Structure 1
Amino acid sequence: MEGTKSESYFVFMNYDPQYQRLRADRTKRGANELDLFLSRKHDQLLARTLDPGSYKKTLSLVIVDGFSVEITEDQASVLRSAKEVRLVEKNQELA
């Protein structure tokens, strides 16, 4: 059945002034705060939109407000419809 196999996707978030403010803080404390903020924000989005245990977040990206997650095509469609999400794209493996 299509849409049931988990694959790696990148999820990029919409503009967030809090992210921009934290990213502008170049101190070590600022970097730690940014990491925590993004990880929590991404975890909350996933918890709110997908069933517990049905996905595996592999990485929060700090350089852009986004993350990598192992999900099905159906779950990718659900995430695409979340208002905070700008783009969901399958991670294309380079052969």
Structure 2
Amino acid sequence: MGSEKSELYFVFMNYDPEYERLRSNRTKRGANELDLYLSRKHDELLAITLEPGSYKKTLSLVIVDGFAVEMTDDQANVLRSANGVRVVEKNQELA
């Protein structure tokens, strides 16, 4: 069984042509549209996959289609099998 302790994970998404299209628009407006698109996309994925209030998304990553989220090991395992998710990795502390 997994731990009930929340830890930080990074979630990276599969290829998304809309992300690529928005990312290619290098204007300030394009950057804002990309930020909004990714934030909404990541929030919706979490909302349909995990129990509301049981996780905390800390940021969406614009340079790659991904985000950081505080959640349990069990939740990470659930998210790994979600449609569109490429990889879920626990944050590693560097010594």
Q: TM-score range by the shorter chain?
A: over 0.9
Shift of 1:94: 1.5
Equivalent-residue separation in structure 2 for 1:91 and 1:27 (angstroms): 32
Residue pairs, 1:59-70, within 5 angstroms: 59-70=59-70
Equivalent-residue separation in structure 2 for 1:83 and 1:25 (angstroms): 26
Q: Aligned pairs, how many?
A: 95
- The question of 1:18 aligning with 2:47 is answered no
Equivalent-residue separation in structure 2 for 1:67 and 1:2 (angstroms): 22
Q: Which residue of 2 aligns with 1:30?
A: 30
- The question of 1:44 aligning with 2:23 is answered no
Shift of 1:3: 1.9
Q: What per-residue deviation string (whole Å, max 9, x for no partner) do you get for residues 7-38 of structure 1? A: 00000000000000000000000000000000
Q: What TM-score comes out, normalization by structure 1 length?
A: 0.97
Q: Which residue of 2 aligns with 1:85?
A: 85
Equivalent-residue separation in structure 2 for 1:32 and 1:48 (angstroms): 24
Q: Which runs of 5+ in 2 are unaligned?
A: none
Q: Which residue of 2 aligns with 1:72?
A: 72
Q: What TM-score comes out, normalization by structure 2 length?
A: 0.97
Q: Which runs of 5+ in 1 are unaligned?
A: none
Equivalent-residue separation in structure 2 for 1:88 and 1:57 (angstroms): 13
* Superposed CA RMSD: 0.9
Equivalent-residue separation in structure 2 for 1:59 and 1:78 (angstroms): 20
Deviation beyond 6 Å, 4+ runs, structure 1 = none
The 3-state SS of whatever aligns with 1:60 is strand
Shift of 1:83: 1.5
